[in-house]
Amino acid sequence: MESRAIFFDKDGTLVEDVPFNVDVTKIRFSRGAEFAIRKLKDHFQFHIVTNQKGVALGLFQEIDLTFVRNKMALMFSDLGGELQGFHYCPHGPDDGCACRKPGTLMLERAALEHGIELSHSWMIGDILDDIEAGKRAGCKTILIDNGNETEWVLNEYREPDHMAKDLFGAALIIMSQERGL
C-alpha cells in the first residue's frame, strides 16, 4: 500500500517567514504547526517542498540548506514526528527549471522515492504557486491565507480546495476530510 503525505511549503507556511533565512537559530514553527504535526504524524509522511532562490542569487550556498534540513528534522522529532523529505529548488524564477513551484518535480520525486500516492496527499502553502504545484501533481490543497499571496491570479490549478488561517486550521480540515483520523 502506498503512503500518503503532507507536503508543506516552508517559509510562511511551516515556519515563520524570514526572507532568505538559513540561520538555524531563527527558524521557528508558524502558528499551529506543532498541533498539526502532533495530530497528523501517525497518518501521513511529512515532506517540505520549498523554492530557495537565495541559492541562485548567491545569498547562501546549497550546503546551508543541509543545516536547515537537519534543524527542521530535529524540530519534527521533538514533537514525535519525522520529517521524511526536504526537497528544494535552488533556481530562480527565470531559470526555466521543472522543480521550482508551481512545477511538480519536487512532489513527483518525493512520491517516487517514498512510495507516496499523490491523490491521497495534501499540499499546504501560503501562495498560489504552492497550490498550483499541488493540484498539478494530483494532491488536495490548502492555502494558508496569511497575506503572503498578493497577486491572486486564478485558474483551474490555482483555486485551493480549502483555505485556513494557519496550520491549526489546516490540520482540522485534513482531519475532517480523511476517514479514520
**Whether 166 is catalytic:** no
Q: Say how many domains are in the chain.
A: 1
Using one digit for the tens of pLDDT, what is the confidence trace for 13-53? Answer: 999 999 999 999 999 999 999 999 999 999 999 999 999 99
Distance CA(57)–CA(149), nearest Å, equals 22
Using one digit for the tens of pLDDT, what is the confidence trace for 148-170? Answer: 887 888 899 999 999 999 999 99
Tell me whether residue 11 is annotated as binding. Answer: yes
Distance CA(112)–CA(86), nearest Å, equals 14
C-alpha cell at 46: 511529512
Tell me whether residue 89 is annotated as binding. Answer: yes
State yes or no: pLDDT of 118 exceeds 80: yes
**Whether 9 is catalytic:** yes
70 DSSP β-pair partners: none
Domain containing residue 81 = 5-177
Q: How would you classify residue 100: left for phi > 0, otherwise alpha for psi between -120 and 50, otherwise beta?
A: beta
Contact 11, 26 (CB under 8 A): no
CATH number, domain of 32, equals 3.40.50.1000
Tell me whether residue 94 is annotated as binding. Answer: no
Which of 76-90, 124-138, 148-162 is least confident?
A: 148-162
Tell me whether residue 126 is annotated as binding. Answer: yes
Catalytic option among 9, 129, 130, 166: 9
